[in-house]
Chains A and B, each alone.
Chain A
Amino acid sequence: MLLPTFEFHEPLSIKDALKLKKSLGEDAKLLAGGTDLLVHLKKKLITTNNLISLSGIKALSLITKEKNAVIIGSCTTMTQLSSTPIIQKNFPALKAGCDNLGTHLIRNRATIGGNACNASPAGDTLPALLIYDALALLETSDKKREIPMADFFTGPGKSCIQPDEILTGFRLPIPGKNSGAHYIQLGKRKSSEINLVNVAAFLKYDPDTKKIIDARIALGSVAATPIRSPKAESTLMGQTPEEACFFAAGEMARREDCHPIDDFRGSARYRQAMVGVLTKRTLTRAYELARSACI
Chain B
Amino acid sequence: MKKIIRLTINNQSHEIAVEPNLTLADMLRYQLALTGTKKGCDTGDCGACTVIMDGNAVNSCLVLAVQANGSVIETIEGLTTAEGLAPLQEAFVEKGAIQCGFCSPGMILSAKNLLDKNPNPSEQEIREGISGNLCRCTGYQKIFEAIESQSS
Contacts and interface: CB of A to CB of B under 8 A. Distances in A.
Whether A and B are associated in the same complex: the answer reads yes
B20 A35 contact: no
A64 interface: no
| Size class of the B contact interface (CB-based, 8 Å) | 20 to 34
A144 interface: no
A214 interface: no
Contacts of A35: 44, 59, 62
B43 A105 contact: no
B21 A5 contact: yes
Interface stretch (A6-14, A15-23, A163-171): A6-14
Interface stretch (B74-82, B97-105, B124-132): B124-132
Contacts of A7: 1, 20
Contacts of B37: none
B19 interface: yes
Contacts of A162: none
Interface residues of A, number: 30
B89 interface: no
A192 B128 CA distance: 11
A10 B3 CA distance: 11
A228 B129 CA distance: 33
Given A6-B20, A8-B3, A192-B45, A104 B132 contact: yes
A31 B67 CA distance: 10
Residue with the highest number of chain A CB atoms closer than 10 Å, among B20, B23, B47? B20
B20 A104 contact: no
Contact of B43 (A39, A53, A79): A39
4 closest A-B pairs (Cβ-Cβ)? A103-B132, A8-B20, A191-B131, A105-B132
Interface of B: 1, 3, 19-23, 42-45, 47, 50, 53, 56-59, 62-64, 66-67, 110, 128-129, 131-133
